[in-house]
Amino acid sequence: MKVMSAISVAVGVVLALVGVGGMVWAGWVSYRQWLALDALRSAEVQTATLPLLIGGAGLLVGGFLLGLGLGRPRRVIAPAEATPPSA
């Protein structure tokens, strides 16, 4: 694996984890808001727009970099060519 490919995979994994974290955070915000509305309590209105944008962007860029790093063609070492027999 080349250095750029290894760096791309490492950054992609980190961004994918940030994306998953953002999505979990957005789900938690939405769940807490739903609980407040379900219990007929008044709570400050929170929207999950920013966490969803962070999560979506992290997953998009992280997935792209992971695919770029893992999908690069590998250098194939060709076998030594056989010399034709001399007549």
Residue-range domain boundaries for the chain: 3-70
Torsion of CA 57, 61, 63, 69, to 10 degrees: -170
User: What pLDDT, on a 0 to 100 scale, did the predictor assign at position 58?
Assistant: 92
Tens of pLDDT, residues 52-80 = 999 999 999 999 998 888 876 667 776 66
Tens of pLDDT, residues 4-14 = 788 888 999 99
Tens of pLDDT, residues 19-40 = 999 999 999 988 888 887 766 6
User: What pLDDT, on a 0 to 100 scale, did the predictor assign at position 14?
Assistant: 93
